[in-house]
Structures are given as structure tokens and as C-alpha cells.
Amino acid sequence: MTAPKVKLGAVRLGIGNAFARMPFRFGVVTMDAAASLTLELEMTVDGKHSVGYASDLLAYKWFDKRPEKTPADNVADLLWVVHLAASIAKDLPADTPFELWKQLDVAVDRAALAGGFNRLGASFGVSMIERAMIDGVGKALGLSFRAMLTNDALGLRPVDIFPQLDGMSLEDAIPSRPLTRLNLRHTIGMVDPLTAADPFEPVNDGLPETLEDYLREDGIRYLKIKLGGDLSTDIERLQAIAGVLAGGDYRIAATLDGNEQYKHLDDFAALMEAIRSRPALASLFAATLFVEQPLERSVALASPLDAKALDAIGLPLLIDEADGWTSAYREAINLGYHGVSHKNCKGVIRSLLNAMLATHHSHLAGRPGAYFQSAEDLTCLPAVSLQADLAVVAVLGIGHVERNGHHYFRGLEHLSVAEAEAALAIHPDLYERKDGRVQLAIHDGTLRVGSLEAPGLGSSVTPNLKDRIDPANWSFEMLNRTNHA
């Protein structure tokens, strides 16, 4: 089909306050509540009116980790960049979705940098508009995300961005059918309890709490382990995790997340050498697939990775926070990285292009899978955010996905009863009712996602912005439990 001409229009925003059931520490911050932003975008698709939705957490201390920026500053900056992207989008002339994305990507990146924000944060603003646009196009045409790609409804022209992809098709890089099951990769945060014997305050809400709970009750087979940047503390934590796995004879695959804790690759290599030298960690190291973003983003792409340090690490490295602009993965490959994370908050079209780059460079290397994508979005919450991300992961063919929103937040309680019930009714494979609550359904460590193959970007649940707070009336203090109560 010929890609439709899309004219982007008015945007409405609403914020919901999501309170965690237990604290989550990542990098330099511990989070116990977050603002969930929902965006409604009006548009015309070949003259037909349509509405698309996008949603995501306004995650502080991830997009911008500068110490002088408070969490409240971070959230304000993210709201600013979404408003910026919306104002630019509505002034763009009608064009194909790809052309609109391309123009928006350049304009928001430039304006965000001029406004003192960073390129990763700029990507968030672009992605919110992009996701809502893709959702609205799919609903107008009655096409799922995979069907949009099959029918070229987005008008993708990868060679416009990466000339080396000339002669290659997106179909060369993704499976012919979306995956219908995804393995859930459970993240072990730095203060998460491992066993009931650990010092922690139990929630006692009927949901799993410890690593041991998730391994036993949900059948988790993939783990993501957060590192803190201190060698002795990390080794002690890893040995405790390895002890839990050995004690239950759990067979898992794992990834490590450096969370930008290192300025020098040699320092991270020292940790990996210490891991490799300890017999108690031999099985865990053998089960580890890759390492995510050990280097701080300001140095991660500054120079080629040292070959001696890479040999000491012994695992492929992946960029995550350093993937702040469209060509970042291509640049990272040239420096010695092999992987890149997919996250909807960085961009859907970017991930499609990265899938093609990974396939292209694996072919050049003569080793299928030598260059790869992972799925790394920790706290996507139902319904719109979670489902859109899982829909893209399924189409990309990534078999396991980091997913912990169900761990840190209690079911779908952050949504209205009407939206939670609609999610369960429309997507009974992904959600279940248990102990009177609607929650994510995890069966043998997997998520069933077949129902996401529906018109739009994974979700048929229409958010009600009347249940959310207009950003003009919202304040960061609303995330304080005392104020909320």
C-alpha cells in the first residue's frame, strides 16, 4: 500500500500518580512513587480523523543524572520536552509517518540541546508523539503494528538515515510473525530482598516479594542484575544471588546492568576479572549473556573500547543510556560495542533501524546474532505503555524482556477500575484476576502477548484523561505518600 499522509493535531496530557508497593533503587536514586504521563494525539490519516495514545513514566534520574538536577527538576524537564515536541509536531505539514518522525527527531533534538536538556531526554519527547502517531495510524487503517510494517503504512525509508542499509529490507531483520510469548527477565534491584531471611519490611499483599519468590512462584528463567559500582559490594551481592540460584538448583540466563557507574572501562574490567576468579560465581558468569552500559554516557562513545579490557570482561557490551540519538548505535558498533537496548521511550522507529543495523553488521561479521538488540524497559506500567512496548518487542523478535512494573507496583491499581477491567476483558492472555485484583499474568516465566496484535500499537484500552491530572495542576509533591493520603 502507499503510506498514508498524516497531519498531526492537538495534544492532551494527563498525569496519574503511581505509588510503588516496595522501593526500587537504581544507580543513584531510590524510587517509591512516579508520575505516569498519558498523551492523547489527534490526527488525520488520509483525511480521516483518528486519535492515538502513548504513555510512560516520567522517570527521574535516568534521562538526566546530573547531580545539580533534583527529581522534581527531571520531571519538569520531561514535561517540557513533551510540550516542545507537541508544539513542533502540530506545525509540520501532512506527510508519511516516517517523514514526520524524521523531521520531528531533528527539530526536537536541536531545540532540546539549545534549551539545556540532553539528547536522551529529547528522544523521550519525540517518542511520545511518535508512539501516539503510530497508534492512531494503525487504528485509522485497522492494522496492527506488524501489519503496518508489512503494508509499509509508516513509509519507512531506512536508507535515508543509514546509506549502508541500501538493498536491505526491514523484513530481513525481523521475524515474519510477532512472537506470542515473551520470557520475562526479572530485575534484581540493589535493595531488593533475595530471600525471606533478608532484612526488609514485608509488604504482605499476596504478591511475590523476594527473588526466591519469583523463581519459585512465577518460574522466572531470566534475570537482570543491577551493579552498584563498588567492587566488594557488588561481589558480595552477586555471591548472595548465586547462592540462592544454587540452593534451589534454578537454571537461568542473566544479564548485568552497569547503570553508568564507571568512568573507565579498566575499572569495570577489574570487577569482571574478580567475578571470573571466584569459583562461587562460575555458574553465574557462564549464564550471563551481556553487560549493559557500564560506562557513564559522557565517556561511553568518546573513544574505541580497549581490546585488553574487553578481553578481561569476556562478554559483549550493550549501550542503553548512551543510545541518545538516532545514529548512536551505528557509532557504538564502530567503537567495539555489540548490543543496543530497545526501549519505546527512546523511539520505535529508532529500534526498527537498529534491528536492521544489527542484522547488517552480523552479516558483515559472518556471525548471525553477533550484533543484537535487547529489551530493557524496567517499569512500563499497564495498559498503554506496557502493551505498546511488548507489541514492539514481539515484532522485533526479542525473546526475553526486562519487566518489573508488576514487582514494584501492585497490579493495575494505578488505573481506574474501568480501565483495569477493560484491559482484562480485551487482553485476557496478558492479565488475570487474582485475589480480587487485576494483575499481569505470568505463566512459567512468560508473558502471553498474542492479543496485542490488534489495530494500533498494542492496546485497545482507551485511557480516560478525565481520571488524570492536567500537568498545569500537578506538582511533584503529589508523589509524597503523606500528601497523597
Q: Are 127 and 78 in contact (CB under 8 A)?
A: no
Residue-wise pLDDT tens digits, 104-150? 999 999 999 999 999 999 999 999 999 999 999 999 999 999 999 99
For 51, left (φ over 0), alpha (ψ -120 to 50), or beta?
beta
* pLDDT tens for each residue of 234-267: 999 999 999 999 999 999 999 999 999 999 999 9
Whole-number pLDDT of residue 24: 80
Helix (H) or strand (E) holding 107: helix 97-114
Rounded-to-integer distance, Cα 213 and Cα 171, Å: 40
As given in the structure block, the three cell numbers for residue 332 are: 557504538
Supply the mean pLDDT for the chain.
96
28 pLDDT band (50/70/90 cuts)? low
- HEC secondary structure over 174-221: CCCCCCCEEEEEEEECCCCCCCCCCCCCCCCCCCCCCHHHHHHHCCCC
The predicted-structure confidence for 52-94, as pLDDT tens digits, reads as follows 999 999 999 999 999 999 999 999 999 999 999 999 999 999 9
pLDDT band at 483 (very low <50, low <70, confident <90, very high): low
**Residues 6+ positions from 247 with CB-CB distance below 8 Å:** none
